[in-house]
Amino acid sequence: MNTGKTLFAQFMEHVPWTSFRRIVDRYAGDAGVTRMTCAEQFRIMAFAQLTWRESLRDIEVTLEANQQKLYAMGLRHQPRRSTLADANESRDWRIWADFAALLIRKARKLYTNCDFGLELANTVYALDSTTIDLCLSVFDWAHFRTTKGAVKMHTLLDLRGNIPAFIHISDGKMADVSALDLIELEAGAFYVMDRGYVDYSRLYQMHQAGSFFVTRAKRNMDARRVYSRDADKSNGIICDQTIAFNGKLALEAYPEQLRRVRFWDKEREKTLIFLTNNTLLPALTVSALYKSRWQVELFFKWIKQHLRIKKFLGTSENAVKTQIWCAVSTYVLIAIVREELKLPHSLYTILQILSTTVFEKTLILQAFARNGMSRNIDIASNQLSLLDF
């Protein structure tokens, strides 16, 4: 790359702009626009995420202080906060949702061979949601509770690289289990979920689709043991059984047999009961799969701590969804840059370095060189550090 380009400009070169323009044309995002195109809007929103700007005025003042560098960022004019606010309010949030999906597809291809600690050829997804609190008096469309507003971010995380394969943003009232109706099930893949997603009819649909699930049993589950497998109790496996439901409604919803694994968690000093429709995996692997679900919790923690989705630049539903999708796109774009350049750093380190050097004119590989690290380091065996703090 040309050393005359800023780090921000080099970072933006990893965006598939041709595909981005097709998405913008699909929703007529630039129709009648004279001052701030969708491409410029994304550059500004990504800049705000990378440098931790928390208000429209903050963005405006920071960019105004670097006017001589705006053209190198891909901006034709000095951005005004009113223009950015109008763009976030009026331009269809689906532009940014489709753009994030585009980046996600690109990132998942890059992380296909990522090792996440379990010797499985199958794709493994962790499904969960996180709540982003909002003030109901300001965000009156985000209904959650009587005196509280919120939006939910339902996420299906591909554990090979910790890349979100599916994201749905809803109001706070949407039940977590309803997200299963929106996911396109993949035959042969594992879906790891907590017991908030236990709905026997939906789990049976996953079973019929050829997908595997690993979840925790509810306390009031009424089932009988059909037969037991040998269990290695030295590894914490209390029992490994095939079960069938007793209750009429449960049996109608899931008419086939299930596998139940009881596991003693030494760290928490607690017995955990797992349900799965896979009968071939070792019981210890089933428990390890459920433990890997924690990666989606780390993803939510990382997003909330290091990207700007707690303070919003607009109050409408469109503006909030625009900001969240731009934040997700920035996260995925960092992951893409990390893998394409083979950077041996965690996403946190990359974000920290970019936050203070976006206007520097140096090769991006030189900016991330430290302690003699080579750009050719093989990081395939260290992919779990993607979310390291």
Query: Collapsing DSSP states into helix, strand and coil, what is residue 132?
Result: strand
The three-state secondary structure class of 226 is strand
Task: Answer yes or no: is 158 within a domain.
Answer: no
Does the predicted TM-score (pTM) go above 0.95?
no
The residue out of 224, 253, 279 marking a domain boundary is 279
pLDDT at 347: 87
Domain contains 63: yes
Which of 225, 250, 279 is the endpoint of a domain? 279
Q: Which domain holds residue 250?
A: 209-279
How many domains is the chain built from? 2
pLDDT score for 178: 95
Residues of the chain with pLDDT under 50: 1, 371-389
Cα angle value 317/320/323 (rounded, 5°): 145
Q: Which residues contact 75 (CB under 8 A, 6 or more apart)?
A: 40, 43, 44, 63
Which residue type sits at 250?
A: A
Q: What is the dihedral of CA 276, 279, 285, 287, to 10 degrees?
A: 30
Domain boundary among 258, 279, 300: 279
Look at residue 121 and tell me if it is in a domain.
no
Q: Report if residue 218 sits inside a domain.
A: yes
pLDDT of residue 231: 87
Q: What CATH number is given to the structural domain containing 233?
A: 2.20.25
Residue linked to tokens 């750093």: 345
**Residue 30 covered by a domain:** yes
The pLDDT value recorded for residue 370 is 54
Cα 65–Cα 67–Cα 70 angle in degrees, nearest 5? 125
Check residue 191 and give its pLDDT.
Answer: 97
DSSP assigned state of 221:
-
Quote the pLDDT of residue 3: 55
For the record, the structure tokens of 128 come out as 């969960």
CA separation for the pair 325, 331 (Å, rounded)? 10
Inter-axis angle of helices 56-64 and 81-90, to 10 degrees?
A: 130
Whether residue 322 is found in the same domain as residue 246 = no
Q: Note the pLDDT tens digit of each residue in 178-200.
A: 999 999 999 999 999 999 999 99
